[in-house]
Amino acid sequence: MDLRIDRLATLYLVSPLLRRASGTVPSIPILMYHSISDQDESGSRAYFRTCTSPRIFAEQMAYLSSQGYSTCSLAHALDELRSGMHTASKAVVITFDDGYSDFYREAFPVLSRYGFSATVFLPTAYIGDRPARFKNKDCLIWREVVELSNHGILFGSHTVTHPWLRELSWAAINEEIVTSKNTIEERLGRAVESFAYPFAFPQTELEFTKILRDSLRQAGYQNGVCTIVGRANRRSEPLFMERLPVNSCDDAALFSAKLAGAYDWIAQFQRISKLAKARLQNSAKKAKLHISADLSARRKDNSKGACPPETYSR
């Protein structure tokens, strides 16, 4: 059984402290879903799973409804946070990455039952007129995307091919973010303002994230999300807003705690871990360079002290 340290800390350490806190920063939970299916993920740790069973998803949506939550777009969430109006509302943003077809079959009917909307981020290379597969799952087709859009579902870009952007040139990155946006806009006849960063977000690489932010703005994006854990607040970067990952391992208590902000501590833990890893990698590189320079110097010294070839004994 997967011992969830994050769950224990959230429910029995952070939640009690949060209940005693006198004031909190106005924030809005942005839920991050992927596949709504019963796919077996027993080989993965609970935190890293990306599937939520239809039954559990329905229970989570019923809970949101019973607690008086209403869904909104990322743009509306940003407006509320900037204006400070959120203190009197219970807004939640529901997002889905990767554009899987099970959203159409399983998630959309449940969302409609409660009058909820959502934003779906599409990797456009896998969205076609016929079903295509991404990560061994079928993706939406354009006919379904158009139908969902006509019923209030919002769509954003998840790049074209869902690459590790950090490993691409800036020309290739711009191609990914611009082409995907243009493709969705052409298909739907509506502006695309939202972007979801694929894979883990490199939050400690400040130069990269700054240039990426500027590139997204130049491409016309107004808001976006990433994998930094937590609820969005007015200090959040509008193009890289925090989200709360959700999957089948989230029982009612943990789901409720996430909505309340008791899971936000994970973000700081992630940041410290990434900074420590980066420093270790830099130290290793420096040590390697020092050893290489030392060996080079020794070879140079040995070369100076060696006899010329013509003086060698025959």
- Of 61-65, 78-82, 226-230, 237-241, the one with minimum mean pLDDT is 78-82
Position 299 pLDDT exceeds 80:
no
C-alpha closest to that of 69 among 18, 119, 111, 33 = 111
- The residue that leads in pLDDT, 19 or 89, is 19
Place 295 in a pLDDT band, splitting at 50, 70 and 90: low
Place 268 in a pLDDT band, splitting at 50, 70 and 90: confident
Ramachandran assignment for 135, one of left (phi > 0), alpha (psi -120 to 50 degrees), beta (any other): left
Place 1 in a pLDDT band, splitting at 50, 70 and 90: very low
Average pLDDT of every residue of the chain:
90
Tens digits of residue pLDDT in 196-232: 999 999 999 999 999 999 999 999 999 999 999 999 9
149 and 17 share one domain: yes
235 and 303 share one domain: no
191 and 296 share one domain: no
Place 175 in a pLDDT band, splitting at 50, 70 and 90: very high
Give me the pLDDT at residue 272, please: 80
Residue-by-residue DSSP string for 207-252: HHHHHHHHHHHHHT--EEEEEEES-EETTS-TTSEEEEE--TT--H
How many domains, the chain? 2
85 and 234 share one domain: yes
C-alpha closest to that of 29 among 246, 244, 174, 275 = 244
Whole-angstrom CA distances from 125 to 79, 87, 242, 252 are: 32, 40, 25, 36
Output the domain CATH number for residue 225.
Answer: 3.20.20.370
Tens digits of residue pLDDT in 106-117: 999 999 999 999
Tens digits of residue pLDDT in 125-154: 999 999 999 999 999 999 999 999 999 999
Asked if residue 11 belongs to a domain, the reply is: yes
d(CA 103, CA 108): 6
d(CA 166, CA 195): 16
Asked if residue 314 belongs to a domain, the reply is: no
Asked if residue 188 belongs to a domain, the reply is: yes
Give me the pLDDT at residue 218, please: 98
Domain membership of residue 206 as a residue range:
5-263
d(CA 67, CA 59): 12
Alpha helices, DSSP H, located in the chain: 5-9, 15-20, 54-66, 74-83, 102, 108-113, 142-150, 170-188, 206-219, 252-260, 265-305
C-alpha closest to that of 92 among 74, 70, 121 = 70
Please provide the distance, in angstroms rounded to a whole number, between the alpha carbons at the two ends of the chain. 73
